Structure 1
Amino acid sequence: MKFAAALVMFASVATYANENDFNVTVKEGAGKAISFTMNDTKDVHVSLYAQDGTGIFDEAIKNKEGKISRTYDLNALPAGTYFLETETTAKVARYQITVEGAKAVVSEDVTEIYKPVVLSKDGIVTVSIENNATPVKIKVYDDSNEEVYNETFEGATVAKRFDMSRSIAKNFTLVMIYNDRQFVETVAAR
């Protein structure tokens, strides 16, 4: 069942400062409406999905001023658990929203996953991952899709350096898996 057509969105650019870079709240007096505000970002991908993973709404937002504000009316949604997820260049944040009766409740627990930082210069590739103490698996594939590296790391932070300058491959694909997420990045060998 698709609810995207029934989802009403009111958009506006936020013109106020907030010490949080991302904030989700229930809009006062609006029943099942939720609002989110994001500061200091110009591009964000927003998804709303049901507990079973069914996508309800998906939007890529760009704003030159670096402040984004949206309100979503969830009145068309049946009672249940939903997730609002935002993805920027640096991290993914996920809020749990419970729709019950005539209201929506936003959980105070936020799941934030920082994306890996991959730097490549002169054939040296550095991968840095700030992690929540879950195992981190890094796989590297050459341009023939052959696995050339596979290692799992334990611990909160991972920093790994690869020298790809002597390889005959032109490109490598790095697959980094942690916190039930997979991040993929392709880099040039030289």
Structure 2
Amino acid sequence: MKNLKLSLVCAVLLSGLSSYAIDGNGDLNLHVLKTNGKLITFAINKVQKANLAIYAKDGSLIYTENAYGENGILRTFSLEEFPEGTYFLEVEDNTKKVIHEITINDFSTVLSSKAVSSVNKAVPAKSTSVAAR
């Protein structure tokens, strides 16, 4: 009976850990820090180098930059010149690419903190040698 209770407690703890990871608390986790009219500030934790790009809804590239930060990336974008509509912020590093939605209207800009798309990149396997006799 004691082993059953211990197993149940372990199962609940492990399921909690996996749901915590699913919520986007891993790499390329974007945090919207501040919005003020058409000015947005966001941070990407645990990433020192990433490519940032903004695309229009039709897929055309509007802006791109290579962003760097010692303990993460902090950026503020002024979207004053952007017409109303839906845009997409793509954040990509060596292992993952995530896309967040940006909605702009007359008075405000909203950057979704939850990714609308997330793709893990394949990591090449390390080369190993096998000795044959």
CA distance in structure 2 between the partners assigned to 1:75 and 1:97 by the alignment: 13
CA distance in structure 1 between the partners assigned to 2:99 and 2:90 by the alignment: 4
Q: Following superposition of structure 1 onto structure 2, how do residues 74-93 of structure 1 map, counting pairs within 5 Å?
A: 74-93=79-98
1:82-124 deviation digits (Å, cap 9, x = unpaired): 0001001121111011111111122354121111111141479
The code of the aligned residue for 2:102 comes to I
CA distance in structure 2 between the partners assigned to 1:107 and 1:62 by the alignment: 22
Contact persistence 1:26–1:106 (CA under 8 A): no
The code of the aligned residue for 1:66 comes to N
CA distance in structure 2 between the partners assigned to 1:62 and 1:22 by the alignment: 15
CA distance in structure 1 between the partners assigned to 2:128 and 2:33 by the alignment: 49
Bigger fraction of residues in helix:
2
Bigger fraction of residues in strand:
1
Task: Assess, with a 3 A threshold, how the Cα gap between structure 1 residues 20 and 123 changes in structure 2: closer, same or farther.
Answer: closer
SS at match of 2:87: strand
TM-score normalised by structure 2 residue count: 0.68
Contact persistence 1:97–1:105 (CA under 8 A): yes
The 4+ residue runs of structure 1 with deviation greater than 3 A are 18-21
Q: Residue 95 of structure 1 aligns with which residue?
A: 100
Q: Residue 119 of structure 1 aligns with which residue?
A: 125
Q: Residue 52 of structure 1 aligns with which residue?
A: 58
Task: Assess, with a 3 A threshold, how the Cα gap between structure 1 residues 76 and 123 changes in structure 2: closer, same or farther.
Answer: farther
Task: Assess, with a 3 A threshold, how the Cα gap between structure 1 residues 20 and 90 changes in structure 2: closer, same or farther.
Answer: closer
Q: Is 2:41 aligned against 1:35?
A: yes
SS at match of 1:59: strand
Task: Assess, with a 3 A threshold, how the Cα gap between structure 1 residues 23 and 91 changes in structure 2: closer, same or farther.
Answer: same
Q: Residue 23 of structure 1 aligns with which residue?
A: 30
- Alpha carbon RMSD of aligned pairs, Å? 2.5
Structure ranking higher on relative contact order (CA contacts 8 Å, 6+ apart): 2
Task: Assess, with a 3 A threshold, how the Cα gap between structure 1 residues 37 and 91 changes in structure 2: closer, same or farther.
Answer: same
Matched residues, number: 105
Contact persistence 1:26–1:33 (CA under 8 A): no
CA distance in structure 2 between the partners assigned to 1:66 and 1:107 by the alignment: 22
SS at match of 1:117: coil
CA distance in structure 2 between the partners assigned to 1:51 and 1:24 by the alignment: 22
CA distance in structure 1 between the partners assigned to 2:82 and 2:68 by the alignment: 26
Q: Residue 68 of structure 2 aligns with which residue?
A: 62
